[in-house]
Structure 1
Amino acid sequence: MAEKKSYFDEPNDITVEDETITSEAQFDETTTSRTGAVVIRIVLAAVLFAVFAAVSWFSGSGVPVLLGLLAALVLFSCTHVVLEWERAVVLRFGKFHRVAGPGLVFMLPVVDSVTATVDMRMRSTAFKAEHVLTADLVPVDVDAVLFWTVWDAEKACSEVKNYVRLVYWVAQTTLRDVMGAVTIAQLSTRRTQIDKEVADILEQKTNEYGITVLSVEIRDIEVPDDLQEALSAEARAERESNARVMLAEVEKEVSEMFVEAAETYGNKDAALQLRAMSFVADSVKEKGGMVVIPSALSEAFEGLGKLGKL
C-alpha cells in the first residue's frame, strides 16, 4: 500500500535559489507534529488485538491471536488521521476516488490508498526576478512575495506533478514579463498597479490547477550602483529644472504686479503716500521702537491729514 506523503516535500535535486519551498517542508516536519495521529492508529489497532487476545484466552486456542494480529495490521493500514487544515487525496485501484478529511479517515484495505495530503491554508512564497531589463533597458533585481492557497486538492495533485514548484516558477516568469513592460520610473510610481497586474496574471495561469492567488507584493527593487548614481543625477537635474521654471513663473507674476502697482501709484499721489504710511506702520508694529521720518515725508503725511478733513 502506498505510503502517505506531503506535497510540501521537495526532491533532493532542487535547484531553486529561493528557500521558501524548503522552509515549507521544514515547517510541515517540525511544527505540524503527527505523533498524536500515529498514536490514535496504534491505540485502535491495539484495542482490536486485545479483543482477539481475550477471545483466545477464553477459548484456549491460538488462532484468535493470529487473526487479531492480522486484523490489527489491517486496521492500522486502512485508517488515517487528517488534520483540520489538510485534505487527503484517496485513490482506489490507482484512480481518484475522493478527497477526505479532516478527522479520522477509513479506507478499504489494499484497494484504497492516500497518495498525498494537501495543506489548504494560505501560504507565502518569496521569489525574485534577477537582471530583468525594463522597457527603457535598465537592469533591475526585483524581490516579491506571493500569497496563495489551494482550493481544489484533486486538481492540485492530479493536474500537476508538484504544484508548489509550479507556483514558484510561474510567479518568477510572470514577474519578469511584467517588469519588461514598464519603465524604471513606473516601478516606483505604479508599484500597487504592478502588484495587482502580476496577481491577476498568476490567477489566470494557476486557477486551472486548483490554486488561488490572493495577492502579490513587491518588496524591493535593486538597481546597479553606477545606474543608481546616474538616475539620481538625472532626478536631481529634473528637480532643479522644475524649480527654475517655477521661480521664473513667480518672478514673472511679481513683475506684473509691480507694473500694475507702478501704474496705480504713478497716477495717484495720494495712493502712493497712503502706501508709504502703511509701510511705516507695519515696520513699527513688527519691530517696535522709534522710526525717524524725513521732514519731506512728514509734510506729505500732514497733507494727507488735511485731505482727510475735507
Structure 2
Amino acid sequence: MSTTQLILLLVFILFLSGFRIVNEYVRSVVFRLGRFQSIKGPGLYWIIPLIEWQKTIDMRTRTVTVERQETITKDSVTVKVDAVLWYRVTDAERAVIAVENYSLAVHQIALTSLRNIIGQHLLDEVLKERDAINQALRNIVDSSTEAWGVKIEMVEMKDVEIPEAMQRAMAREAEAVREKRARLIKAEAEQEAAAKLSDGARQIAENPIALELRRMQMIAEVGAEQNTTTIVLMPSDFVNLAGELAGMLRKKSVGS
C-alpha cells in the first residue's frame, strides 16, 4: 500500500469517527476548539474529529430525594422534614456552560430552600398547609435554577417528624376540641328541647282541655302495661263537663 493510499485510508477512518448517534431524549452540546458551537441530536449527526467534541445531556425528568433535614419552625419547634423534587433540563447549553454540575446544584439549592421555608412557617401551617408550602418551595427553587436551564416541575414534602412530647400535646389538644364540640352539640340539643317544651306549655296554658287530653293519653299508656293498677284523680271541672255532656245526650235520645 502506497503512502497516498494510507493517508486516504486514515482520512476516511477519521471522517467516519466523527459520526455520532444519540437517543431521542438526549441532546449534545458541541464545542469547537473550546467554544460553544451548536446543539446536536437526536439521531445521527457528524462533528469534526479532533477539532470538535461534545457533552451529552439527558432531557428527561429526573427525581431528587432531599434527605431528612432537622430545622426549626417559626414558633421554635424542632422538626425533621424530607422531600422529593422532580426537574428536567430545558436548555442543554446553559446546563453545561452556566453551572459545573447541575444535578448537584439543584440538590443543594433544594436543601437550603427547604430549611428556609420551614423556618418561615408555624408548625400548624407546616402540617396543614403542605400544598401551599410545596408550591412556594417549587417557585423558590425554580427561580434559582432558571439561569441554569433547569425547570423544577414539582416538589413534595414526604414526611414531617415532630418530637414525641409535641405529638402528645397535639393529641390532648385534639381531644379537648372534640370534647368541646360534643358539649356544644349537647347544649344546642337541650336548648331546642327547652324551646319545644316552652311552646307546648304555652299551648296548654291557652287551652286547658289539652292538658286533660294529654293526661288521659298518659293514663292509657300506663294502663297498657300488665299487672298495673292506676288510680286517677279527675278534676271536678272535667267531671262536671262530662256529666253535662251525658245529660245532653240523654235528652237528645228521649226527644227522638
Aligned to 2:179: 240
Partners of 2:152 and 2:219 lie apart in 1 by 71
> Kindly, what percent of the aligned residue pairs are identical?
33
The within-5 A match list for 1:3-18 is none
Cα pair 2:72 2:119 within 8 Å, conserved = yes
Aligned to 1:208, the other structure's residue is in SS state: helix
Question: What is the CA–CA distance in structure 2 between the aligned matches of 1:143 and 1:276, rounded to whole Å?
Answer: 71
TM-aligned CA deviation for residue 228 of structure 1: 1.5
Match of 1:71 in 2: 12
- Equivalence map 1:15-54=2 (5 Å): none
How do residues 86-125 of structure 1 correspond to structure 2 at under 5 angstroms? 86-114=26-54, 116-125=55-64
Which structure has the larger Rg? 2
> Kindly tell me: are residues 275 and 151 of structure 1, through their superposed partners in 2, closer, same or farther at Cα, counting changes over 3 Å?
farther
Question: Against the structure 1 CA distance between its residues 182 and 295, is the aligned structure 2 distance closer, same or farther, given a 3 Å change threshold?
Answer: same
Contact kept? 1:129, 1:172, Cα under 8 Å: no
C-alpha contact 1:174 1:202 (8 A) present in aligned 2? yes
Residues 279 and 128 of structure 1: is their aligned pair in 2 closer, same or farther, counting only changes over 3 Å? farther
Distance verdict in 2 for CA 1:150–1:247, change over 3 Å: same
Which runs of 5 or more residues in structure 1 are unaligned? 1-55, 285-289
Report Cα offsets for 1:50-97 as digits up to 9, x if no partner: xxxxxx5xxxx4652464245314532x22211110000101111111
| SS of residue matched to 2:57 | strand
Distance in 2 of aligned mates of 1:99 and 1:81: 13
Deviations 1:31-55 (A, max 9, x none): xxxxxxxxxxxxxxxxxxxxxxxxx
Distance (Å, rounded) in 1 between the aligned partners of 2:229 and 2:127: 59
Matching of residue 82 in structure 1 with residue 22 in structure 2? yes
**Partner of residue 139 from structure 1, selected from 75, 78, 85:** 78
CA shift at 1:166, angstroms?
A: 1.1
The 3-state SS of whatever aligns with 1:175 is: helix
Given that residues 140 and 221 in structure 1 are in contact (C-alpha distance below 8 angstroms), is that contact kept between their aligned partners in structure 2? Answer: yes
Aligned residue type for 2:27: R
Q: Secondary structure at the match of 1:262?
A: helix
Match for residue 107 of structure 2?
A: 168
CA RMSD of aligned residues (A): 3.2
C-alpha distance 88-253 of structure 1, shift in aligned 2 (>3 A): same
The answer on whether the counterparts of 1:85 and 1:121 sit within 8 Å (CA) in structure 2 is yes
Counterpart of 1:135 in 2: which secondary structure? coil
The structural deviation recorded for 1:132 is: 1.4
Equivalent residue letter for 2:12: A
Work out the CA distance in 2 between the residues paired with 1:279 and 1:92: 106
**Which moves more between the two structures, 253-262 or 197-206?**
253-262
Q: CA deviation at 1:271?
A: 3.4
Q: What residue is the counterpart of 1:154 in the other structure? A: 93
The amino acid across from 1:89 in the alignment is V
Task: Give SS of 1:84's match.
Answer: coil
Task: Return the letter of the residue paired with 1:166.
Answer: A
Q: Which runs of 5+ in 2 are unaligned?
A: 246-256
CA deviation profile, 1:230-282 (whole Å, cap 9, x unmatched) = 2222222233233333333433333333333333334433334555677799x
In 2, Cα distance between equivalents of 1:219 and 1:130: 12
Whether the 8 Å CA contact 1:129–1:176 is kept in 2: the answer is no
Q: Shift in Å at residue 150 of structure 1?
A: 0.8
Residue 133 of structure 1 deviates from its aligned partner by 1.1
Tell me, in whole angstroms, the C-alpha distance in 1 between the residues paired with 2:91 and 2:68.
28
Check 1:71–1:231 CA distance in 2 against 1; reply closer, same or farther (3 A cut): same
- Secondary structure at 1:186's aligned position in 2? helix
Alignment match of 2:166 (pick from 198, 221, 227)? 227
Superposition TM-score, scaled by structure 2 size:
0.79
Following superposition, the deviation at residue 126 of structure 1 comes to 1.4
The answer to whether the Cα contact below 8 Å between 2:14 and 2:49 also exists between their aligned partners in 1 is no
- Residues matched between the structures, number: 237
Cα 1:298–1:118 change in 2 (3 A) is farther
Deviates further, 151-160 or 232-241: 232-241
Tell me the CA shift for residue 138 of structure 1: 1.3
